[in-house]
Structure 1
Amino acid sequence: MTTVLTEAGADVTPAAAASQRRRRRAPGWLAVLPLLVFVAIAFGVPALAMLNGAFTVKDQTTGATSYTTANLTDSLQGAYFTALIGSVKLSAVSAGIATVLGLPLAQAVVTSRFRALREAVLTASGVLANFGGVPLAFAFVATLGNAGVLTEHLGLKDKGWNLYSFWGLVIVYLYFLIPLMVLTITPALDGLRSQWREAAQNNGATGIQYWRYIALPVLTPSLLGGLVLLFGSAFAAYATAAAMVGSAVPLVTLQIADAISGNVLVGQENVALALSLDMVLIAGLVMAVYLPLQRRSARWLEA
């Protein structure tokens, strides 16, 4: 009979060894069970309710409900579709700009000789990346609004400046997206080996050539992953835009808020759930792109 030598030095059969391994793994699964139950209740139940409502229409005459795709069709037409495209456009533009600006800033922090500066910038980035909502909107309104301090001092209103517009909202989003990009790309920049730059210089490569042929190809998965992460963060933002621009800029989150508050046509009460489902599908697509990029960039960090 085949035997297996255990850590204690005793010979046991393969079946007994497998049973021992299962017993050792059992406590781990039991420890995770409360978390799984919480996730199922906190996320699973609302998700099922959203799915049910997104495909449900109530007859105003009889009060009967039926399953149909009418809500999803309405969510991809008219003002709803305009708001969805507006959110995608705002998220893509702000995420792209934040990626371009965040990379050199993170590089300057990584290559700085002052450890205190690096810690201060990373700490500030961690705070600013989570600073949003109504306080952020109020800060920009008081600073760059129609009667803001800088607007009055620099005469920006006479030059056509308008904070309550698409580009004004992009500038506000950059306030927390650039710090988020710094936090995201810094570990990847730390993973660049100094030997690679030295080898490139020894072979006559310039700084631009090093970044074009060595650094950027290595950083591309991390950069794309950061871009996708910033897109998702901007796409899900609500409170800042709601407090600052209201309905001046069409966004899907604002449309959902209007629909939930009852500001919809009769018979379209569940369109908000259909819009939420559209957002979930886009967020799922974002995560489907982000996770492979994150795993690929992790190989360089672990090398």
Structure 2
Amino acid sequence: MTTLLAAGGRTTVRPPARDASRRRRDVAARLRGLAGAAPFLGYVSVFLLLPTLLVVDGAFRTRDGAWSLDGLAAAMTARTAQVFWTSTWLSALTALVGAVLGGILAHAVSTAPPTSLVRRAVTGFSSVLAQFGGVMLAFAFVAPLGTNGMVTRLLAGTFGVVVPSDLLSSMAGLVVVYAYFQVPLMVVVFLPSLEALRPQWREATAVMGGTTARYWARVAGPVLAPQLLGAYLLLFANAFSAFATAAALISQQTVLVPMAIESAIRNENNTGMDAYAKVLALGMVCVVGVVMVLHALLQRRAAPWTAAGR
């Protein structure tokens, strides 16, 4: 029971002993929760936070460890702005292609029964292809569409169609190659949002005399809009940080930010380019960080509707 004490004409309430015991149990439960998350927090600290701090620190230091703004000054050039612009529009375009094609494919898959073989096959392949990239992906396109590729020679010998020799090393070729992993990633990311749409919402729209177009414009569209934009931002960040595939296809140019970082680190003529490379990396961290913050805000906005559809 709660103990009442009179002091100076006022009554104070002393919490019972069981309340203190309950607080101790709550603190112990929180500590156990933190202990369970310790491996994940350690992983994030070692592989994400620590490298980011090293990049931030190294961007303003010379190779000898002295504070310097030489790296920042070297980055303030038209060439650096062009590299960031190329990475930005390439990421935006490939994210748009992936969002449109992947969204259509995800909607088609969502109409199939959950236990159907086609649905399981598409989701399984999408999960694998979303992680397929790097030199292997570049070779997968060079083998059929390269200068001496099988498809290139077949088209030239049979139909007289000449595939440009620089197709895969051009920006248009990069868009095609990037779409190979952007589309399945969109399927994986956006399919749960489509599954969260309740059939009763469409039925209610039909009962009220609404058409399919009105259902998508007034009901499903507003519900899916934050999740669609969030998926687009995720695809943008995925393309913006991609390196190995573009480096394998365009080996003699530094048209993207990751390629410019690699070129600066391996520069043998100027060994003082480390700070410049870290400034570029810091710029990438800032861009991807802003994108992911916007993605988290959109996911929070869409969370009530996603929970309502389950």
TM-score category of the 2 structures, normalised to the smaller one: 0.7 to 0.9
Describe the shift of the 1:109–1:276 C-alpha distance in structure 2 as closer, same or farther (beyond 3 A). same
Looking at structure 1, the residues matched to 40 and 97 of structure 2 have their Cα atoms a distance apart, in angstroms, of 37
Shift of 1:160: 8.5
Partner residue of 1:7? none
Looking at structure 1, the residues matched to 212 and 164 of structure 2 have their Cα atoms a distance apart, in angstroms, of 40
Equivalent pair of 2:254/2:260 in contact (CA under 8 Å): no
Looking at structure 2, the residues matched to 141 and 158 of structure 1 have their Cα atoms a distance apart, in angstroms, of 12
- Does 1:222 find its partner at 2:227? yes
- 2:62 alignment partner, SS class: strand
Partner residue of 1:138? 139
Partner residue of 1:80? 80
Shift of 1:248: 4.1
Describe the shift of the 1:206–1:171 C-alpha distance in structure 2 as closer, same or farther (beyond 3 A). same
Partner residue of 2:256? 251
Equivalent pair of 1:87/1:235 in contact (CA under 8 Å): yes
Looking at structure 2, the residues matched to 158 and 13 of structure 1 have their Cα atoms a distance apart, in angstroms, of 79
* Superposition RMSD in Å: 2.2
- Does 1:202 find its partner at 2:207? yes
| Structure with the greater alpha carbon radius of gyration | 2
1:294 maps to which of 295, 299, 306: 299
Looking at structure 2, the residues matched to 70 and 43 of structure 1 have their Cα atoms a distance apart, in angstroms, of 25
Looking at structure 2, the residues matched to 117 and 221 of structure 1 have their Cα atoms a distance apart, in angstroms, of 28
Equivalence map 1:231-242=2 (5 Å): 231-242=236-247
Partner residue of 1:175? 180
- 1:55 alignment partner, SS class: coil
Letter in structure 2 aligned against 1:32: A
Describe the shift of the 1:15–1:154 C-alpha distance in structure 2 as closer, same or farther (beyond 3 A). same
Equivalent pair of 1:126/1:180 in contact (CA under 8 Å): yes
Partner residue of 1:97? 97
Looking at structure 2, the residues matched to 34 and 105 of structure 1 have their Cα atoms a distance apart, in angstroms, of 37
1:211 maps to which of 203, 210, 216: 216
Describe the shift of the 1:123–1:79 C-alpha distance in structure 2 as closer, same or farther (beyond 3 A). same
Return 5+ residue gaps in structure 1 as ranges.
4-10, 59-63
Equivalent pair of 1:86/1:250 in contact (CA under 8 Å): yes
Describe the shift of the 1:41–1:160 C-alpha distance in structure 2 as closer, same or farther (beyond 3 A). closer
1:20 maps to which of 17, 22, 25: 25
Structure 1 residues 95-135: Cα deviation after superposition (integer angstroms, max 9, x where no partner)? 01110111111111111247111111000000100111111
Aligned residues, how many?
A: 291
Shift of 1:266: 5.4
Shift of 1:231: 0.6
Looking at structure 2, the residues matched to 287 and 51 of structure 1 have their Cα atoms a distance apart, in angstroms, of 19
Looking at structure 1, the residues matched to 271 and 163 of structure 2 have their Cα atoms a distance apart, in angstroms, of 43
Equivalent pair of 1:90/1:170 in contact (CA under 8 Å): yes
Structure 1 residues 207-249: Cα deviation after superposition (integer angstroms, max 9, x where no partner)? 2222122211111011001000101111111111111122446
Return 5+ residue gaps in structure 2 as ranges.
4-15
Equivalent pair of 1:102/1:181 in contact (CA under 8 Å): yes
Equivalent pair of 2:70/2:275 in contact (CA under 8 Å): no
Letter in structure 1 aligned against 2:92: A
Letter in structure 1 aligned against 2:162: K
Describe the shift of the 1:93–1:249 C-alpha distance in structure 2 as closer, same or farther (beyond 3 A). farther
Equivalent pair of 2:127/2:185 in contact (CA under 8 Å): yes
Looking at structure 2, the residues matched to 295 and 220 of structure 1 have their Cα atoms a distance apart, in angstroms, of 13
Looking at structure 2, the residues matched to 281 and 230 of structure 1 have their Cα atoms a distance apart, in angstroms, of 16
Shift of 1:76: 3.9
- Does 1:271 find its partner at 2:276? yes
Partner residue of 1:67? 67
